[in-house]
Structure 1
Amino acid sequence: MSKIVSSKVEQLVLPIVDDLQLELVEVEYKKEGPNWFLRVYIDSDKGVDLDDCEKVSEKLSEQLDEADPIKEAYFLEVSSPGAERPLKKKADVEKAVGKGVYITTYEPLNGEKTFEGKLQAFEDNQLTVDTKVKTRTVTYTIPYDKIANIRLSILF
């Protein structure tokens, strides 16, 4: 049910974020304890501030009241995805070249299922990631279709 709700909300919020020249990162509808939360994550090249979140929240709230796609009570939250935002689309991955990433894969590649390092390239559905292993750099090539999750990562 949560995927259906997220899909319906995505259809409602996309025109709003497009109009405000923002990017929709993710819509999440999940139960935490006794409460349901509808979370909408937005971003832009210049970042987002409280005003952006407030504008999207107000406009989306009106759309949700009108369309009424969610029958149970819920809390609406609109926010930035943060510094370690998920990379949901190939375009997100392309924009992340040169940045730190954290990747988990569906199955082990070279005996590993987690990779954290600098994304060097994304070509032909293959990611090239340089990771630090003690004092040396190890380069991995990871097929895009083997990735379970990928997000930005702050490297130290």
Structure 2
Amino acid sequence: MSTTQSERLRGLLEPLVAARDLDLEEIDVTPAGKRRVLRIVVDSDEGVQLDACAELSRAVSEELDESDVMGGAPYVLEVTSPGADRPLSELRHYRRATGRLIKARLTEGGELVARIIAVDDEGLDLEVPGVKGRKPTPRRIAFGDIAKARVEIEFNRKAAEKSAAAADDESQEEA
């Protein structure tokens, strides 16, 4: 039974990653001139610190040196966390994005920009931002209705949250 290099790498690396309470998100081997780049992407519910990546990189390097998974050709090892533009494709990705704004392309066409309020096994509870001063509206969407989704980067999120909190305070004072 023949296995691909990617399958052998996953079998070798998953126990190392899991032992550090991390999720192995991606393994990618790409040519880079005369070398190859082995990129390992890891994540966790608490995020991934630089020290954790460095420690995992040392452990992976030792394990790879003792095996023949990468063959004899030179390679560069990169251990990293997912970027901000990573697609949301697993239930755990959506759970980790709770409270964040996402942009979803829907299977029936169109796009939706909304904040994830809650996640369960069937789908998402979202808050669709109001337009022109209107209040946000709740919306439920099933995972099957999402073709593709990503977290939207919010540069002014704290300012928006402060102004929303101030507006709530004012409306409560008036009542």
**TM-score, normalized by length of structure 1?**
0.69
Q: Aligned in 2, Cα 1:36/1:102: closer, same or farther, shift over 3 Å?
A: farther
Two-structure CA RMSD over aligned residues (Å): 3.1
Is the 1:25–1:88 contact (alpha carbons within 8 Å) kept by the matching residues of 2? no
User: What's the secondary structure of 1:25's corresponding residue?
Assistant: strand
Query: 1:61 is paired with a residue of what secondary structure?
Result: helix
Deviates more, 1:140-149 or 1:73-82: 140-149
- Taking the TM superposition and a 5 Å limit, the aligned residue runs for 1:5-154 are 5-31=5-31, 36-71=36-71, 72-105=73-106, 107=107, 109=108, 111-112=109-110, 114-123=111-120, 125-132=122-129, 134-135=131-132, 137=136, 141-154=140-153
CA distance in 1, matches of 2:39, 2:45: 20
Partners of 2:22 and 2:64 in 1: CA distance: 19
Q: How many aligned residue pairs are there?
A: 149
C-alpha contact 1:42 1:78 (8 A) present in aligned 2: yes
Alpha-carbon shift at residue 22 of structure 1 (Å): 2.6
Structure 2 gaps, min length 5: 158-175
Query: For the residues of structure 2 that align with 1:82 and 1:92, how far apart are their CA atoms?
Result: 12
- Structure with greater proportional helix content: 2
Instruction: Name the CA distance, whole Å, in 2 between partners of 1:147 and 1:37.
Output: 32
Give distance in 2, aligned partners of 1:93 and 1:130: 14
Which is bigger in relative contact order (C-alpha 8 A, separation at least 6)?
1
User: Quick check: which one's strand share is greater?
Assistant: 1
Which aligned segments of 4 or more residues in structure 1 are displaced greater than 6 angstroms?
none
Q: Larger radius of gyration, structure 1 or 2? A: 2
